A and B are shown apart, each in its own frame.
Chain A
Amino acid sequence: FMLTPGNPKWKQMNLTYRIIKYTTQLSKANVEDTIKEAFQVWSNVSPLTFTKISQGEADIKIAFVRGDHGDNSPFDGPNGILAHAFQPGQGIGGDVHFDAEETWTLTSSNYNLFLVAAHEFGHSLGLAHSTDPGALMYPNYAFQDPSTYNLPQDDINGIQTIYGPSNNPVQPTGPSTPTACDPRLTFDAIATLRGEILFFKDKYFWRRHPQLSIVELNFISLFWPSLPTGIQAAYEDVDKDLVFLFKGCRYWALRGYDVEQGYPRDISDYGFPSSVQAIDAAVYYRRKTYFFVNDQIWRYDNQRQSMEPGYPKSIASLFPGIESKVDAVFQQNHFFLFFSGQTYYKFDLSAHRVTRIDRSNRWLNC
């Protein structure tokens, strides 16, 4: 996190706010509820309180304005700059302006007012932008579901550096963004997608570009707002140009970056018995889909569309050298790349043996 240069802060903990100008795109009640929830993100983790007033001079004045609105920081129309805010202080200090020419929503459609407002209030309280891509104070917009929003630890650390800990007897904590080169890094699931490789972890995924071998971290919800976090298994069916994602006994299908209609569905579609309630990893190869569940493997015949007889078998019986639980797996050329904990095993499907063992995060250029 970063504090605004000069470390400006409010002297008083009990702040007032006033909504001076509303947007015509949402009802007044919706705007007021959303603004209140956005302030609660900060009052939940600090000694600060926020009270709405309707008359007089408030500490934090909020307005939806367009273009050049007299503060020497003109807005730029739809997209681009969404909003801005001023550091703590008198007059314009603490004030928040939203670009009235944006489409403001309460949903995953661009742009969700709650997330932008909570971010701007961070500036009103003295926070600058964070370089942590998972932090609320990261400069770029990234949708996350407001109903399950949990302020990241980076932002909690920032606001508590300025105003001290929350008065709650139990100090609130938040999620931390996984770091690619953390040697303890493990993956939830991995799948290829039209040449890219997607590495899933918690509410994030790294996207590795094939040629450039650049790896970028994104929220799952930025690309697929309807998907849950904590994806457990994933595979690409290259013949159908679909990627299947699994969590618990449900699964979704992606076509490129679109979620297919009619999902989620139940994994019993594949013929799993009800005793199988979740899948650890999955991979598709030559019209067969391999599912890894604990120390067992199931093989699904995509042509016959049924589980093959004689399964499940032990994983080691099909893939000698793969002895521990499989977290994730993907196929590249004639190799299966198995990931278990912080280690990956390169299994040669022709030689039928492991030909390389290395650290999992090598795939994130570490």
Chain B
Amino acid sequence: ALPVPGASPEEKNARVVQDYLEKFYQLPPKGFLSERQNSSSVIVEKLKEMQRFFGLNETGKPDRETLEMMRKPRCGVPDSGD
């Protein structure tokens, strides 16, 4: 995720999460869902799906170990779906 100048750590982390879940867990890009839907339920579900894949605690939150996993170099093929 390209860093947004002046973004707070929380905003940076949110972008890392959004970008990662869009790329590898088919999170619909921002704008495809109403803001409310995207921020509350779909992201939490997709986060849990990613945490389940990597054997992390399924908190549905971008905790430290989840963000650490998202920053590891990897293959560009999604982990779920086509």
Q: Is B35 an interface residue (CB 8 A)?
A: no
Residues of A within 8 A of B54 (CB): 131
A131-B55, A214-B65, A216-B65 known; A139+B81 contact, CB < 8 A: no
Min CB distance, A95 to chain B, in Å? 12
Q: Is A6 an interface residue (CB 8 A)?
A: yes
Interface pair A81/B82, CB less than 8 Å apart: no
Q: Is B74 an interface residue (CB 8 A)?
A: yes
Interface centre among A79, A120, A128, A139 (most CB of B within 10 A): A139
Q: Is A38 an interface residue (CB 8 A)?
A: no
Min CB distance, B52 to chain A, in Å? 8
Per-residue contact bits, chain B 40-82, to A (CB 8 Å; 1 contact, 0 not): 0000000000000111010000001100010011111101011
Interface pair A79/B73, CB less than 8 Å apart: yes
Partner of B76, one of A84, A87, A111: A84
Min CB distance, B41 to chain A, in Å? 23
Interface pair A140/B76, CB less than 8 Å apart: no
Min CB distance, A80 to chain B, in Å? 6
Among residues of B, the one whose C-beta sits closest to the C-beta of A137 is B75
Task: Determine the main DSSP class of B at the interface with A.
Answer: loop
Interface pair B24/A139, CB less than 8 Å apart: yes
Q: Is A5 an interface residue (CB 8 A)?
A: yes
Q: How long is the Cα–Cα vector from A80 to B53 in the complex, in angstroms?
A: 18
A5-B81, A214-B65, A216-B65 known; A139+B75 contact, CB < 8 A: yes
Q: How long is the Cα–Cα vector from A129 to B75 in the complex, in angstroms?
A: 9
Interface pair A111/B75, CB less than 8 Å apart: no
Interface pair A140/B74, CB less than 8 Å apart: yes
Interface pair A85/B55, CB less than 8 Å apart: no
Q: Is A244 an interface residue (CB 8 A)?
A: no
Q: How many A-B contacts if CB must be within 8 Å? A: 61
Residues of B within 8 A of A129 (CB): 53, 75, 77, 79
Interface pair B82/A139, CB less than 8 Å apart: no
Min CB distance, A127 to chain B, in Å? 10
Interface pair B73/A80, CB less than 8 Å apart: yes
Per the 8 Å Cβ criterion, residues 78-110 of A in contact with B are 79-85, 87, 110
A4-B82, A133-B55 known; A73+B65 contact, CB < 8 A: no
Q: How long is the Cα–Cα vector from A120 to B54 in the complex, in angstroms?
A: 19
Residues of A within 8 A of B73 (CB): 79-82, 110-111, 140-141
Interface pair B72/A84, CB less than 8 Å apart: no
Interface residue ranges, A against B (CB under 8 Å): 4-6, 73, 75, 79-85, 87, 110-111, 116, 119-120, 123, 128-129, 131, 133, 139-141, 212, 214, 216
- 30 A-B pairs with CB atoms under 8 Å apart are A5-B81, A5-B82, A73-B76, A75-B76, A79-B73, A80-B73, A81-B73, A81-B75, A82-B73, A85-B75, A85-B77, A87-B82, A116-B75, A119-B75, A120-B75, A123-B75, A129-B53, A129-B77, A129-B79, A139-B74, A139-B75, A139-B77, A140-B73, A141-B72, A141-B74, A141-B75, A212-B64, A214-B57, A214-B65, A216-B65
Across the A-B interface, give the 5 residue pairs with the lowest CB-CB distance, nearest first: A84-B76, A81-B76, A141-B73, A140-B72, A140-B74
Q: A123-B75, A131-B54, A131-B55 provided; 18 other pairs, C-beta below 8 A?
A: A82-B75, A84-B76, A85-B75, A119-B75, A120-B75, A123-B77, A129-B75, A131-B53, A139-B24, A139-B75, A139-B79, A140-B69, A141-B72, A141-B73, A141-B74, A141-B75, A214-B65, A216-B65
